[in-house]
Amino acid sequence: MRGAVETFTEPRPFVEDERYALRRAEALAGLDLRTIDGPMRRIVDGLLHVPHCFTLQSCCGHFVFPGNMIERNINPLPPEDCGEVRYRIAYIALCIENSDRGKQLRDELECIPAAAPECIQFGSAGWFWETYPNSYALQVEPYRMRFMDEAMLEYSEALRIEECRDLFLKRLEELVKQQLMM
């Protein structure tokens, strides 16, 4: 997860990638849906059937706090203040084909942050781009911390990030359904 976000940048323009089909086939052959966080699994599974993209990495976001120190916790935050929360970001990194449908998908992904611009960002991730041209990331993180892969948050801010994360997952699911109907 670290490299995917520590080199987060503005989205790069599409470039030609003659090896897209091969890269996609290799990525899909190595994908094991059982290793993906439950809330993100449906999204990644749906994307398997979208020929103009493939998933590179994903995480549904994890909140670790006193009383629940499980590193891959996917349970909601408690209703009462639990003190400082360590948040490990929610994100999805995709490689997108340089095609009309791929460009349309990229444009639609780029619109998702408008739902909560203070905590959802769209961009490129440097080290992915080196191996997978036309790779993009959508992440949920307080804007001031957008270059970090985890953040320490006060409980009230963690609640807001949890709301944004849930919205992010919902919007991604809707986008995948739309892509599957094309």
Per-residue pLDDT tens, the chain, 182 aa: give them: 333 345 688 999 999 999 999 999 999 999 999 999 888 999 999 999 999 999 999 999 999 998 888 788 888 999 999 999 999 999 999 999 999 999 999 999 999 999 999 999 999 988 799 899 999 999 999 999 998 889 999 999 999 999 999 999 999 999 999 999 87
Structure tokens at 97: 């084909």
Number of folded domains in the chain? 1
Q: How many CA atoms lie within 13 A of 34 on its CB side?
A: 0
CA distances, 130 to each of 4, 12, 30, 127 (Å): 12, 12, 19, 5
CA distances, 53 to each of 1, 117, 133 (Å): 20, 24, 12
Determine whether 101 is exposed, middle or buried from the number of CB atoms within 10 Å of its CB (0-12, 13-18, 19+): middle
Q: What is the pLDDT of residue 1?
A: 36
Report the SS3 class of residue 140: strand
Q: What is the pLDDT of residue 7?
A: 64
Report the SS3 class of residue 125: strand
Q: What is the pLDDT of residue 160?
A: 97
Q: What does DSSP assign to residue 83?
A: S
CATH number for the domain that contains residue 141: 3.30.1960
Q: How far is CA 96 from the centre of its chain?
A: 14
Q: What is the pLDDT of residue 5?
A: 44
Q: What is the pLDDT of residue 74?
A: 85
CA distances, 134 to each of 18, 46, 100, 124 (Å): 12, 20, 13, 8
Q: What is the pLDDT of residue 67?
A: 83
What is the torsional sign of CA 131, 58, 181, 106? negative
State which residues form the domain around 133. 2-181
